[in-house]
Structure 1
Amino acid sequence: MNRTSRILMFATLVNTFGNGAYLTTSALLLTRSAGLSTAEVAAGMSIGAFAGMVLSTPMGYVVDRLGPKRVQVVALLALAACFVGLTRVGQLWSFAAIASVIAVGEATVKSANGALIAAAVPPGERVRARAYVRSTNNAGIALGALVGGIPLALDSRAGYLAVLLGNAVTFLVAAAVVARIRDVAAVPAPKDGPRLVALRDRPFMAFALVDGVSAALYNEMLSLALPLFLVAYTHASVALVSAALLVNTVGCVALQVWAARGAETAADAIPVARRGALVVAAACALLALTAHRPSWLVAALVLLAAVVHLLGELWLSTATAAVVFDLAPEWAQGQYQAAQQTGRQIGNLAAPPLLTALVVGLGAPGWLAVGAVFAAVAWAAPALVRRGLRRSAPVPALT
């Protein structure tokens, strides 16, 4: 692991620690402390998500043109200011404006992170470096979530303000850490051809959409769909959700780098993506078996499904990193990273209502329907990657 990767890991750990504490407390912070209604919080977050979808790819273009290090530092500073600004929020439109900047800023940081890895790490080592950063990301969020439980227990405005200001400090520290990275020269774009080339790359955008929906589904399976299903269709304790999430968190931290072995190119990612999607589909089948079963059997099936789900998630995330790095032109790494984030944002909007309708509305057949979605991903993702690899002269060459 080179110096840039180590610095990005430390910056990610600091930053996601603050984010983990904020995410744990955000719902009560915005309603009980800021005085917003639940409808206003939902509306503001939806507006922010829409801004992120529209502006992520253009900001990825800015990352490529101005250089990923410089843009990431500026984005981190802007995010620090946003979390300070949240201490003064009291109306929908002020919250929506800040939520929009936060959504765009976070997507910009992620695309700049990917572009920094692409610029500083040899192609054969990029996926492994990305795996280290993702592992650190999960560790930071988990630790932050533990600390976030303290202000939740206090349930006071002072505690919630401390979370916001503490998160702002972590962004400032992360910006200072990233500033230590050696400057990465901005790669000039071709003089001819479209600026937002990623949006014209149909195989890649289709892959980004499939990846975004599947990632949102596997991210929400344990935290959203499982507790609702346990309450509606079993007599088992919802404490099983905490156990399943613990398996997922520890596994993502410990095994992400292991899962990245042997996946260096988009061609390598084809069998990995297929395997990952089919394994998550198997986890859905296991969860379907828990309906109306004895509590001891439900517990055993849920924990087994959590382990199976973990393996599928690790392989799917590994395949995505390999595809994005390999299919992007070197002068548009930031833009392609951002376009992939756009797919994730679309998935984040679609997955919660889809999961709720299927799993809560249909019960066990709903889990099988979710599994069928992942079986379709096992076919679609490899086909789209092959299309991307078959492109002839997909973008203008540098002169």
Structure 2
Amino acid sequence: MGLFSGTFFGHLADKVGSKPIYCLSLLIQGICCIGYLFGGNIGIFIACLIGSIIFEKGASAARGAMMVEIVSREERVKFRALTRVIVNGAACIGAALGSIVLILNAESVFLIAILFNGLTFVATSFIFKCMSIKGKKPVEQIILTNDSISQNTSVLTALSDKRFLIITLLNSVLALHSSIINIAIPIWISQYSQLPIWLVSAVILINTIGVILFQVKVGENVKSIRDATKVAQKAGFLLAITCIFIGMSNTVPIWAGIIMILLAGISQLFGELYQAVSGWTFSFELAPEDAYGKYQGIFNAGKDASLLVSPLIFTSLVLPAGLLGWGALTILFILTALCTDRLVYSNKLLKG
């Protein structure tokens, strides 16, 4: 349900403006979060859960469209990189506060934490509502002043954009890396090797600090589809190297395995940074001016699908197969990297 709701909300953002859709999505997320206080009723709990998922995707699509409205084309990727750094930093603070809640382990504290979290969504919605954000022209006005076919882009038209769908698919393959740090490496170290468990924390720390330090730097150097294609290829090759390091780590002495896992953490970090930047650039640059919301929704749906299936791929296929599984994933990342340039600039896709 969440996979498809982003496209719908993106369509609404294109029709009525991104700001009202974003504010509404935040408000309902806050209400749903506060609704968990009444989670003893299974019906209320399920309704709040579904609402949170749907409107989270809606907020994501509207947020992407809003960036297009308030940030110049040259600065969009850099701005998106900066927001990711801020989000990661906030997530670290949230994790620390959450750990305090767990340590206190009292019902009243849990209830206060849930209420506080819900109120942050409501407050953010109110803040954005009060902000002066220049919106885009209504679609009808754009159509009257511009005869370009791209100015009347429907959801079906967006879904028939072969080039964009192919890029979304390629980005989704590269986005499989999302489960390497949080799922694959912890399980690999604890169940498939003799490596020390502290390596899990070390790799997560490398990733967290690395994103904060380098994401903006990587993002400010990507200005065009050509740049995005190059960094997407780099991402594929770096993620392939990551898989090689991890797969080989339990075939060598422990000291060498430790080094390989740390190197895997570093290569995965930069593969992640490059993949994120290339994805943002493609999603912004390939979308028609009047359809950023729709295209953001479709692109986010591809990424969300990758997040959904990647844990299953690693736990059911890659990890049980050991070195063979990591080798297969290596080949997949390499093929994706090699295909990116050819598919992005395919004359057939450009025409179709």
Pair in the same fold by TM > 0.5: yes
CA contact (8 A) 1:323 1:385 kept: no
Deviates more, 1:154-163 or 1:144-153: 154-163
User: Which residue of 23, 26, 29 maps to 1:79?
Assistant: 29
Matched, 1:208 2:158: no
Q: Which runs of 5+ in 2 are unaligned?
A: none
Q: CA RMSD in A?
A: 2.1
Residues 338-389 of structure 1: CA distance to partner in whole angstroms, max 9, x if unpaired?
1111111211221111111233211122222222221122133333322499
User: Which residue of 257, 277, 282 maps to 1:298?
Assistant: 257
CA contact (8 A) 2:29 2:55 kept: yes
Q: Which runs of 5+ in 1 are unaligned?
A: 1-50, 395-399
Q: 1:354 to 1:284 in 2, by over 3 A?
A: same
CA contact (8 A) 2:242 2:264 kept: yes
Q: 1:386 to 1:99 in 2, by over 3 A?
A: farther
- Partners of 1:370 and 1:380 in 2: CA distance: 15
What's the counterpart of residue 117 of structure 1?
67
Matched, 1:277 2:246: no
- Partners of 1:67 and 1:113 in 2: CA distance: 11
Q: 1:102 to 1:387 in 2, by over 3 A?
A: farther
Matched, 1:289 2:289: no
Q: How much has 1:91 moved relative to structure 2?
A: 5.3
- Partners of 1:346 and 1:223 in 2: CA distance: 17
Q: How much has 1:294 moved relative to structure 2?
A: 3.3
Q: How much has 1:310 moved relative to structure 2?
A: 0.6
Matched, 1:373 2:332: yes
Identity level (%):
28
- Partners of 2:3 and 2:339 in 1: CA distance: 23
Matched, 1:231 2:181: no
What's the counterpart of residue 158 of structure 2?
198
Q: How much has 1:231 moved relative to structure 2?
A: 1.7
- Partners of 2:276 and 2:293 in 1: CA distance: 18
Secondary structure of 1:235's counterpart equals coil
Letter in 2 for 1:203: R
Q: How much has 1:112 moved relative to structure 2?
A: 1.7
Q: 1:289 to 1:128 in 2, by over 3 A?
A: same
What's the counterpart of residue 62 of structure 1?
12
- Partners of 1:264 and 1:280 in 2: CA distance: 23
Q: 1:92 to 1:238 in 2, by over 3 A?
A: farther
TM alignment of 1:123-162, pairs within 5 A: 123-162=73-112
- Partners of 1:98 and 1:380 in 2: CA distance: 41
Matched, 1:318 2:277: yes
Q: 1:95 to 1:370 in 2, by over 3 A?
A: farther
- Partners of 2:168 and 2:66 in 1: CA distance: 20
Q: 1:165 to 1:280 in 2, by over 3 A?
A: same
CA contact (8 A) 2:6 2:60 kept: no
User: Which residue of 304, 311, 325 maps to 1:352?
Assistant: 311
Letter in 2 for 1:135: V
TM-score if structure 2 supplies the norm length?
0.90
CA contact (8 A) 2:70 2:133 kept: no
- Partners of 1:145 and 1:298 in 2: CA distance: 29
Residues 122-147 of structure 1: CA distance to partner in whole angstroms, max 9, x if unpaired?
21111111111111111111221122
TM-score if structure 1 supplies the norm length?
0.80
- Partners of 1:194 and 1:246 in 2: CA distance: 43
- Partners of 2:343 and 2:37 in 1: CA distance: 45
Letter in 1 for 2:275: L
